A and B are shown apart, each in its own frame.
Chain A
Amino acid sequence: MMDDMALEDAALDLFVSALRARHGYDFSGYAPASLKRRVQQLARDLQMPNIGSLIPRVLYEPQLMDDIVARLSVPVSDFFRDPEVFAALGREVLPVLASYPRLNIWHAGVAFGEEVYSMAIMLWEAGLMTRSQIYATDLNDRALEKAQEGIFSSDNLATYEDNYRAAGGTAQLADYYHARYDLIRMRRELLSSAVFAHHNLVTDGVFAETHLILCRNVMIYFSQPLKNRVLELFAGSLVRGGYLVLGNRENLHLSSAARYFETVSDNNRIYRLKRTRQ
């Protein structure tokens, strides 16, 4: 006999299959515990009693799709989140990247774009903006649109300003946005060399040779085999000596792809593609 928990786990598998079969979104490589929480939350948000009830809606209500993907990929970030990481990028990484005539920077899993703008400000202040090409990708089209608009709540501005300064910012964060009522709009110049594009790390491949990849708090939702696959993808995209930045609690220790990378800063999760392939 199947108990409630086993039933809900079976329903989760079927939900994931339905999503993949109907729309091509493959969540089967996601870490199950947090995926289950999100799908249960999705069921509550859509006023459904359980995960199983979501399956017909996935199959027969294509208009729900954007909303479902948006909710399953819950994007959260801040401007200059973990400022010490940005400070390390400014100190140790950008001076090296400055030696390249052209720079390709990939933000993988960009969410609402706070980090793209943070990095763009860093590039601006380092004088690297005009030779940089920024690729900002996500599987969540709705988040991509919002990221491109560059409009954010001003609620946490004081924190952002502190973060910016702790990250080594040389001007004021206010120089980079226009404030209106309780919103800020990032200056368009920051996006002069940015492309926003749909890209799913689970199913899509390498699209450019890159010098720096930022993928923070994205792979914590992946199980180990998928994480390995994505790290292989990054290794295939980076130039030799190119940099990879992960979230503060992510690590390469248990990954089979760790052999491609060497550590630049353990604390800040900054890695570098080895110059020789092994």
Chain B
Amino acid sequence: MTGDEAQRRFVALLQERFGVDEIPAANYPLVDARHHFELARVLKEEFGYRIYAFVVASHYPAAPDAKNENAEVDAEHYEVATGVRCIGAPAHLASWRVRVELDQALPTLFPLFAGADWQEREQYDLVGVRFDGHPDLRRLMMPEDWEGYPLRKDYAIGTACPPWR
């Protein structure tokens, strides 16, 4: 199976079983948060995508559409992208994005992938996304008692902090 065939199979899976209509060209497909865990499970158990590649959370502050003033203001939200890979050729990477509202928590992938433990902790630490069912959601990079999530857009890079002891 080549990389292209694997990608087509992945797209077909998304369209048939997870109701994804739009496959953007320059972005990864957007999947509903309710299907997040199930998609990962199907990929791991039925298609053999067992390597846990990455999880990336980004913060999108509320921003009016500059071009269209009458359009709805997109509320502040997070976007979490996850990627899993299959072993051996063609080492295809299946990745998708999930939109998470500020007060919403995304189900953790820890029962499927042990690597989700630390990776999700890091995204919680730096961006602030919460993961439901995570065994040990606490800060990883920053000190335990740090306040604020550094990689959010409203966290200035020069934010003053007391010297860490």
Indicate, yes or no, whether A interacts with B. no
Chain B residues packing against A (C-beta within 8 Å): none
